[in-house]
């Protein structure tokens, strides 16, 4: 089960190595991702199955296709490269587009709604909590002042406010000065951390004996939840998992050069005990 199938990259590799009978059930909340994955995996026929939905309901999604347990579950968290590369989605601070950031565009608040409606303390708390941005208060204050003149509607509207607000060394640092604010807004818009722990626990429950649970995260908040949840499920009087990665696996230098967006990725893996429990 690929809980974040995206463009189908991971699912394709899984299908290749699990042939001829392996099946991947792919979930994604982004309709465009489902369309792209379906096209990429068309050659695998019925071995690839697709569900548009949220991994918070992974048990229900499995039940809907008549499956009670799986041999593996993978979560590739965060925004996809395809979403970043589409300016009209509003995820990237490097291209101008509407300040949207919704993974599921069928409804819900946009990033523009948040920056134009939240109070200064609420914005500062959001940017600090989800972006771990040291200048959260300063940025929130600047956003509120800027929107008094005109609403912030585009990604470059917001980038301009941030760039004019933070100190010059931060503005020209290794990390783009808008990175953490955009991350915070994206997480809030999509409620990415809500229910993540429960979803990991549900994934562990649907694993067959010796099945594996894999979590790829791209920032510390996701990784912290993954680490603590897997640890909890592998300890105590009745553990159901054994953690296979005492420390997360990270990209090699060669992988970073080939795919700079993977530089912050962390992979954690755990394996399901037999139903009799650990020996």
pTM for this entry: 0.89
- Proportion of the chain above pLDDT 70, given as a percent: 98
The pLDDT of residue 160 is above 80: yes
Architecture of 9-82+192-272 per CATH?
3-Layer(aba) Sandwich (3.40)
pLDDT at 147: 97
The pLDDT of residue 142 is above 90: yes
pLDDT at 276: 43
The pLDDT of residue 274 is above 80: no
Mean pLDDT of all residues in 169-186? 94
Q: Do the domains 87-190 and 9-82+192-272 match in fold?
A: no
What's the 3-state SS for the chain? CECCCCCCHHHHHHHHHCCCCCCEEEEECCHHHHHHHHHHCHHHHHHEEEEECCHHHHHHHHHHCCCCCEEEEEEECCCCHHHHCCHHHCCCCCCCCECCCCCCCCCCCCHHHHHHHCCHHHHHHHHHHHHCCCCHHHHHHHHHHHHHHCCCCEHHHHHHHHHHHCCHHHHCCCCCCCHHHHHHHHHHHHCCCCCHHHHHHHHHHHEEEEEEEEEEECCHHHHHHHHHHHHHHCCCCCCCEEECCCCCECCCHHHHHHCHHHCCCEEEEEEECCCCCCC
pLDDT tens digits for range 54-107: 999 999 999 999 999 999 999 999 888 888 889 999 999 999 999 999 999 888
Sketch the domain layout of the chain as residue ranges. Answer: 9-82+192-272, 87-190
- At 275, is the pLDDT very low, low, confident or very high (cuts 50, 70, 90)? low
Q: Which fold has domain 87-190?
A: DNA polymerase; domain 1 (1.10.150)
């Amino acid at each position: 089960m690929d809980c974040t199938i995206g463009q189908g990259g991971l699912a394709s590799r899984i299908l290749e190595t699990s042939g001829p009978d392996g099946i991947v059930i792919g979930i994604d909340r982004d309709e465009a991702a489902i369309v792209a994955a379906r096209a990429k995996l068309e050659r695998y026929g019925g071995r690839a199955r697709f569900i548009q939905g949220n991994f918070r309901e992974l048990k229900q999604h499995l039940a809907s296709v008549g499956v009670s347990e799986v041999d593996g579950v993978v979560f590739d968290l965060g925004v996809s490269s395809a979403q970043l590369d589409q300016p009209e989605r509003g995820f990237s601070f490097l291209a101008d587009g509407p300040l949207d950031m919704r993974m599921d565009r069928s409804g819900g608040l946009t990033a523009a709604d948040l920056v134009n409606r939240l109070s200064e303390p609420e914005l500062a708390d959001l940017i600090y909590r989800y972006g771990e941005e040291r200048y959260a208060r300063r940025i929130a204050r600047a956003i509120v002042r800027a929107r008094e003149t005109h609403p912030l509607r585009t990604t470059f509207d917001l980038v301009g406010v941030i760039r004019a607000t933070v100190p010059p060394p931060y503005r020209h640092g290794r990390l783009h000065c808008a990175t953490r604010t955009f991350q915070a807004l994206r997480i809030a818009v999509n409620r990415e951390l809500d229910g993540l722990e429960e979803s990991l626990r549900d994934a562990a429950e649907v694993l067959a004996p010796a099945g594996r649970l894999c979590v790829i995260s791209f920032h510390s908040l996701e990784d912290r939840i993954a680490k603590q949840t897997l640890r909890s499920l592998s300890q105590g009087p009745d553990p159901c998992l054994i953690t296979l990665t005492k420390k997360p696996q990270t990209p090699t230098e060669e992988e970073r050069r080939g795919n700079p967006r993977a530089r912050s990725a962390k992979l954690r893996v755990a394996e399901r005990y037999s139903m009799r429990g650990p020996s």
